[in-house]
Each structure stands twice: as C-alpha cells, then as structure tokens.
Amino acid sequence: MRGVIVEETAEQHFLKHNDAGSWIQDSAVMLSVSKEVPWYLDDGTGRVYVVGARSAAGLILTVASEVFEESGRTLVRGTLDYLQGLKMLGVKRTERVLPTGTSLTVVGEAIKDDVGTIRIQRPHKGPFYASPKSIDQLILNLGKWAKLYQLASMGFAAFGVFLLAKRALDHFLQRKRQREFHKKARAAAAQRQARDAEGGNGTSDGEPKKDQLVLEICVICLEQEYNAVFVPCGHMCCCMNCSSHVTNCPLCRRRIDQAVRTFRH
C-alpha cells in the first residue's frame, strides 16, 4: 500500500440530454473502495495506535494519482447511448492516501488494553479529530466555534424573548380593545333605551321622527346603519363591521352565535 489509508474511487463522466434540447455534463460514482492497515503515532517516547481515523473530523487525504480513461466507443454503443440521451465520456479514477510519516494531531478517547497497548478511538461522547494542525491550532479553532455558538444561542434567546414580549403585548392590546368595545356598546345601549323611553315629539305624522332615524344607526360606531341580526337573541342594533368585534349582544348581553346581514327595500 502507498499509505496507511487508501481510498480509491471510480467516477463515470457523461453528457446527458436535457429537456431544453442541450447536452450537459454530469457524473456518477461507480466504485468506492477504502483500505486501512493498523497504524500508530510515534512522538519518540512511545506508540499510540489510532482506530477508526477515517470517521474523524479534519482528516485530509492526499491525492496520490488521478487518471481519466476515455470510454471506448463503437457504432452500436454510441447509437444506444444517443437513443438513451447519454454520451459516455470516460471514467475518472482517483486514489487518495494518508502517507506514512504524516504529522497528525489526534484527539479522542485513549484506552489501554491488557498487554499495555494504547489506542485512540472515537469516544462515546465528545469530539474525535485527526488533523494535520497542531493542538494549539485546534484549540484556537474550537474556541472560535464556541464563541460563534455562544453568540448564536444569545441571538436565539433574545429572539425568543422578543416573541414572548410581542405576544404578551398583542394579548394586552386585544383585551384593551375588547374592553373599549364592550364599554362603548353598553353606553350606546343605555343611550338607545333612554331615547326609547322619551318617545317622539315635535314631528308631523307624514315625516319620520328624528329619534327613529337615530335608532337606525349602529349603537357601537354611531355612523353606519345597523344591518346585522344576532342569533339567537334576534336583536338588530349593530352594523356588520362592528358585529364582528363583539361576542355578546349589546342590548341583552346574550352570547352571539351568528350575525346575519339584513337588507332593506
């Protein structure tokens, strides 16, 4: 082997016909093989074997060879590929290795077996690194990531507080609007009852009374004519717009199940 870890891949490159009528280049992995022999780190004072380094973060394999083999084309093969919308270009074979003598820093779980052999492997919990960087550089990089995670967590916490405060404020404003609507509705209902008690004076028989015109106005907004009938109480004292903001009838305080719009001739 050319190194303690060897990875070989074979990638098929081809042109494919798309819906727009043009040819685009694409590739697909045909073969991927990895080989690893037992290897160890030696700092001059002892050996530490490394297990499962291929799954470690930061491991970089060196490209040992890269060869592109063009596809052999025949008339029959070319015709079939064309009918399938493909043009085979060739196979790219790449070999990546971890050469013997590479300087590495490995961070993981160290265990010692019965014969005294020390191994570093992936821990059940915690990081597992195999990097050409020094331990000081790894600590510096981890410190940067820790600061980023801390800032991100603080940002999410602040955003959560903002959402809670916004929800509380919306709830407070909604309750305030409901109280104002109910207060206005009760005042309008009392005003209407007072007008009903007074009766109508000072108008001719052929003219509509002024109080009758006033009574046709919504008791909440005092602007639009009332055109909503409340179900089940049957009272009609609000316009459709204001009726959507109340849950109880302003006159009898009975709960409103439905507001039905009415039309006049």
Percent of the chain clearing pLDDT 70 (strictly above): 88
Q: pLDDT-derived band of residue 140, with 50, 70 and 90 as boundaries? A: confident
Per CATH, domain 165-265 is 3.40.50.12780? no
Query: Residue length, the chain?
Result: 265
Instruction: Identify which has the larger pLDDT, 172 or 80.
Output: 172
Q: What are phi and psi of 130, to 5 degrees?
A: -140, 95
Q: pLDDT-derived band of residue 63, with 50, 70 and 90 as boundaries? A: very high
Q: What is the pLDDT of residue 11?
A: 93
What's the rounded mean pLDDT across residues 228-246? 90
CB 85 within 8 A of CB 23: no
Q: Where are the domains of the chain?
A: 5-133, 165-265
Instruction: Identify which has the larger pLDDT, 123 or 148.
Output: 123
pLDDT at residue 70 above 90?
no
Q: What is the largest CA-CA distance in the chain?
A: 120
Q: What is the pTM of this model?
A: 0.48
What's the rounded mean pLDDT across residues 173-198? 75
pLDDT at residue 258 above 50?
yes
Q: pLDDT-derived band of residue 83, with 50, 70 and 90 as boundaries? A: confident
pLDDT at residue 60 above 80?
yes
pLDDT at residue 113 above 70?
yes
pLDDT at residue 201 above 70?
no
Q: What is the pLDDT of residue 103?
A: 86
Q: pLDDT-derived band of residue 200, with 50, 70 and 90 as boundaries? A: low
Residue with tokens 């409340």: 230
Instruction: Identify which has the larger pLDDT, 74 or 137.
Output: 137
